[in-house]
């Protein structure tokens, strides 16, 4: 008989303490205290894994705040739904370029006690993506320093073209066109600030994975026509913003192949291929004509009804 066995038989109080300690340890993992998971990240990881094994999606995390909304919420609308024209978005309006756009993913996040809504839409022709929209906007104001990355996107030397409005102390607005490579179902760009958006693990991989599962094919090159508007909050401290990135395909209808060599799709190389330079020029021209509609959408002043075809028809749309 071992010493542990003898102690187990002769010390009932010690045996009770040992059993109680073990049971409490198990319950602390299965039903973790929020203050403990916040202070110990590795403990949070452990409780998440245990909760997942038990069928709980967000073990160790509050399922909802007092008003019933969680800090992070992801939803996948029916992909067969389609939108045209102007749709509501984050308490504003979102004008959609020409064609039928399918919702891919919605993502709501609590950032520094503010809230940001991200919605992703896709347009396709014969199974090949011709347009990919990433729309983001605040539903509650956030600290101004949290928008620095948005401003940095417009000031990268790797963009094709850039433009901005003079700052008046209350608002900032800029726009850009920039090359995006698609490699192994990932978006890659030399614009580091833009890369931060395009590689966000919170919503980009799930969106691209869903497109792949539904049979949508991405061309190897997309051109981003991006617009960002930031202004001081009218309801208190902080700022509100909206940023709309419309990634357009330069491929022909139903095809993945794009004109020019991969190195031609860059700020330094675009003039080596007349077809690349032409698509960039047409994208830049379309974006500048589209800006008034984006601005009106931000202020919810777009009129009901279809948008003018000459303004809505982007270079990636094939009719």
Helix (H) or strand (E) holding 195, with range, is: helix 192-198
What are the tokens at 177?
């066109």
Record the pTM.
Answer: 0.77
What would the two tokens of residue 299 be? 């202020």
What was the pLDDT predicted at 53? Answer: 46
Q: Whole-angstrom Cα distance, residue 228 to residue 138? A: 12
For residue 200, count other CB atoms closer than 10 A to its CB. Answer: 17
Lowest mean pLDDT segment, chosen from 1-10, 112-121, 289-298: 1-10
Domain ranges of the chain: 3-54, 73-312
Q: How far is it, in rounded angstroms, from Cα 266 to Cα 194?
A: 15
pLDDT for 274-311, tens place per residue? 999 999 999 999 999 999 999 999 999 998 778 999 99
Q: Is the separation of the CB atoms in 99 and 195 below 8 Å? A: no
Please report the DSSP string for 20-66 in residue order: HHHHHHHHHHHS--HHHHHH-HHHHHHHHHHHHHTT-TTTTS-SS-T
The secondary structure of residue 267, as a DSSP letter, is: T
pLDDT of 3 strictly over 90: no
pLDDT tens for each residue of 25-77: 655 545 555 444 444 444 444 455 445 444 444 433 333 343 434 467 888 89
How is 153-190 classified by DSSP, letter by letter?
HTT-TTSSEEEEPPP-SSEEEEEEEEEEEEETTEEE-S
């Amino acid at each position: 008989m071992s010493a542990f066995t003898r102690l187990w038989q002769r010390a009932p109080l010690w045996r009770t303490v040992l059993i109680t300690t073990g049971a409490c340890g198990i319950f602390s993992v299965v039903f973790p205290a929020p203050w403990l998971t916040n202070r110990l990240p590795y403990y949070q990881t452990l409780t998440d894994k245990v909760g997942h094994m038990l069928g709980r999606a967000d073990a160790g995390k509050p399922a909802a705040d007092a008003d019933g909304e969680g800090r992070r919420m992801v939803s996948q609308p029916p992909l067969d739904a389609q939108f045209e024209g102007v749709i509501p978005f984050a308490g504003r309006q979102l004008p959609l370029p020409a064609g039928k756009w399918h919702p891919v993913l919605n993502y709501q996040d609590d950032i520094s006690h503010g809230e940001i809504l991200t919605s992703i839409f896709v347009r396709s022709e014969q199974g090949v993506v011709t347009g990919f929209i990433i729309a983001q906007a605040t539903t509650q104001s956030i600290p101004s320093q949290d928008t620095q990355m948005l401003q940095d996107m417009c000031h990268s030397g790797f963009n094709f073209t850039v433009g901005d409005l003079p700052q008046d102390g209350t608002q900032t607005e800029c726009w850009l066109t920039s090359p995006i490579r698609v490699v192994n179902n990932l978006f890659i760009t030399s614009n580091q600030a833009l890369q931060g958006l395009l590689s966000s693990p919170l919503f980009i991989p799930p969106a691209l994975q869903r497109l792949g599962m539904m049979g949508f094919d991405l061309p190897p090159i997309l051109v981003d026509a991006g617009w960002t508007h930031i202004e001081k909050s009218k309801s208190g401290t902080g700022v509100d913003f909206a940023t709309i990135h419309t990634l357009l395909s330069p491929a022909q209808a139903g095809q993945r192949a794009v004109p020019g060599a991969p190195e031609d799709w860059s700020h330094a190389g675009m003039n080596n291929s007349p077809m690349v330079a032409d698509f960039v020029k047409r994208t830049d021209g379309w974006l500048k004509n589209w800006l008034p509609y984006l601005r009106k959408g931000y202020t919810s002043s777009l009129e009901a009804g279809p948008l003018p075809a000459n303004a809505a028809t982007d270079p990636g749309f094939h009719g």
